[in-house]
Structures are given as structure tokens and as C-alpha cells.
Amino acid sequence: MIYMDNAATTIQKPDEVKAAVTAAFDSMGNAGRGASQPSLDALRVIYDTREKLAHLFNGGNAKQIVFTANSTESLNIAIKGIFEKGDHVITTVLEHNSVLRPLYECEKQGVELTILGCDGKGNISYEEMEEAVRENTKAVVCTHASNLTGNMIDLKKVGEITERYGIWLVVDASQTAGVYPIDVEKLHIDILCFTGHKSLRGPQGTGGMWVREGVRIRPLLSGGSGIDTYNPSHPTEMPTALEAGTLNGHGIAGLGAALSCLERMGMDCIREKELSLMRRFYEGVCQIPGVKVYGDFDTGRRAPIVALNICDYDSSEVSDALSEEYGIITRPGAHCAPLMHKALGTIEQGAVRFSFSHYNTEEEIDLAISAVENLSCE
């Protein structure tokens, strides 16, 4: 199998991640539920992982790191927890449904929504973003990189706009956490949502958010917290305020190990290899007759993703052929990015997405190029 669906989830995990999860099954109790050794062991592992994440994002106080099951949960907590009727929010057509659907729900409840369009290569206009700011604008909610095209939004420019107008910046870093350095202070980010199972190379069922001190989010859930039991209201102190119930301690142990591996290997080295593989693939397929590639490849700053179509073939048929005939795993269809497909004119056909990991090799890239060329001639 040649696995090229890393934008959905990474399959290959460091051995240390597997070992940490296995060890956690034998040692971890329920963090914050008593002073027994298993409970304290869990508490230490979870807090250590908070500190690693706070360091990774330059987020300062580790208590501002909240654990969730994935980016979808993080984004739902953020979006449903900060907006009220009469607020205005700005977002983009690049967004995943994890952003769009919660915003549509907020819109039904009286939140005003502006969705910025894009050009033919899938890039947004920052001038249009600034022009969209109103007196009642509360936040910009945007992805860091499109999960379909790999195009990146310039968070520095967005942060300058939000800082200038005194509004919040909520970022979906699903495709970039672990690939690009994200400094929440320099980029003026107020809420950063991330998942653990993609480029951070942690287990599925892990994710989280960093919340700037002073930003208040209404909790999506309330219930057991291990503290302040006789209070009829859920605690307001972070991170407990947004972490009702038992955490996925076993998964968080694996995520902590993955973060240690990331620091040891070096994010820059990993990114350079992934982008090199992506560029090799792009240059190999973009000149093949009948192949159309989507996104902006004039810049080197992008996620390691290439989405394409072959002639008028349905993307699912192409993806199936790649898997069955060549053992190459890709992602066809709509990719939970409906507005991006509408902008690209690919609603009916979908697209075949190749997304790369540093575990991939140049030999695999060349095989994938040959497979695309063979299918384009059929």
C-alpha cells in the first residue's frame, strides 16, 4: 500500500506513540479524580502534554490548552461559545464543514455571516476581508490551509486586520499544526483549534484548542469536573471550564509522545521533505494531458496537498482505480469543503486529493505519477 491520504489522517505513527498508548492502558487512572497513584500518573501525563502544546504554539500558560476529541469538537466549542444574536462573523470559502456548519447554525440564531470568495486559484482577498469588517463584527474564523487545495491563508495579514479592529481571530489549524510553526502571540490568534491525528501524528480521538487568557467561551458541555462538586454550575476556571467529563488520557499520552518526536526530528526538516515530495508530484502530473490540478502552486508556502481530476472521469472512479490497480490510497469526492468545490466548479466531479507525509518516498511519488499518466490515457 502507498498511503497518500495524510490530510485525512496519518496512518504511520512513531513507535514511541504506540508505546505510550500501550503503557497508558496499564498505568493511567482518571486524572483529577482522587489522589491515588493511577490518578496522579494520568494527571502528570496530561499536564505534561498541555505544556508541550503550549510551548509548540508559544501559548504561555498551559492551562489555556483544552483537550477535545478533534478539530471538529474544538471548532464547535469555539464558534457556538462566543457568538450571540446580533454579532457579525467573517469566514471564507476555503472552510471545512467543521467551520461552516456551526456558523450556519449560529446564523439561524441571529448571527450575521459574511463568507469571502476566492480567485480562480483559490486565494482570498485580504482587502475584501478588511472591507467586510462592521461595527458589530466579533471575529474572523478561518482555516490556516485548505484541506482541498493546500492553499494557505496568510494569518499574519489576517491577524493584523483583527488586531487593528479589535476583533477576535479563530483559526482552524487542522492541516498545519505539526507542519508549520504557529505562534499565537505573533499572529494575534485568540483561539487556535487543532487535531492530534494528522501532522502531529498522534492517535485519533485527540485534539484541542488554545484559548487566549481573557477570552470567554460558553461551554458546550457541563458535568463532572473533579472539582467544585457542590456548585450547580460548571466551573469557570480553565481548562476545566471547557473539559467536562473524563478525558481521553490514553490518546493524550500518545499525543504527548508524538510531540516529543516532533521536537526531536524537527518540524522544519519534516516540512521540507513533505513539500519536496509534493512539488515532485505536482511537476510530474501538471503536464499530463487531461489532468487538471487545483490550487496555487506559484508559492512554496502551502500544505503538502495536490488535488486533481483526470478528464471528465468521476473522482471516485479514479481513486478506486488508483487503489485497486496500483495500491495508492487517495481521497476522492467533496472533502467536506462544499464552498471550495463550488468555487472550483467541481461539485459534480469532486476531486482526487493526494496528501503527503514525510514517510512517503520519491519512489512512491514516481509510481503515483505513472499511475495518473496511465489512467489519463485510458
* Average pLDDT in the chain: 95
**Residue of 80, 61, 83 lying closest to 239 (CA atoms):** 61
Question: For the whole model, what pTM was predicted?
Answer: 0.96
Residues 214, 236 contacting (CB under 8 angstroms): no
DSSP string, 38-64: HHHHHHHHHHHHHHHHHHHTT---GGG
Residues 210, 92 contacting (CB under 8 angstroms): no
What does the pLDDT average to over 241-252? 93
What integer pLDDT is reported at residue 269 of this predicted model? 97
Lowest-confidence region among 144-158, 205-219, 220-234: 220-234
DSSP string, 289-309: TTEEEES--SSS-S-SEEEEE
b/e code 251-290 from CB counts within 10 Å (16+ = b): bbbbbbbbbbbbeeeebeebbebbbebbbbbbebbeebee
Whether 236 shows a pLDDT value over 90: the answer reads no
- Going by the DSSP 8-state scheme, the letter that residue 240 receives in this structure is G
Whether 212 shows a pLDDT value over 80: the answer reads yes
Residue 305: beta bridge partners?
355
- Tens digit of each residue's pLDDT (9 = 90 or more) over 84-113: 999 999 999 999 999 999 999 999 999 999
Name the phi and psi angles at 291, rounded to 5: -95, 130
Lowest-confidence region among 128-132, 205-209, 230-234: 230-234
Whether 349 shows a pLDDT value over 70: the answer reads yes
Residues 39, 29 contacting (CB under 8 angstroms): yes
What does the pLDDT average to over 241-269? 95
What integer pLDDT is reported at residue 378 of this predicted model? 62
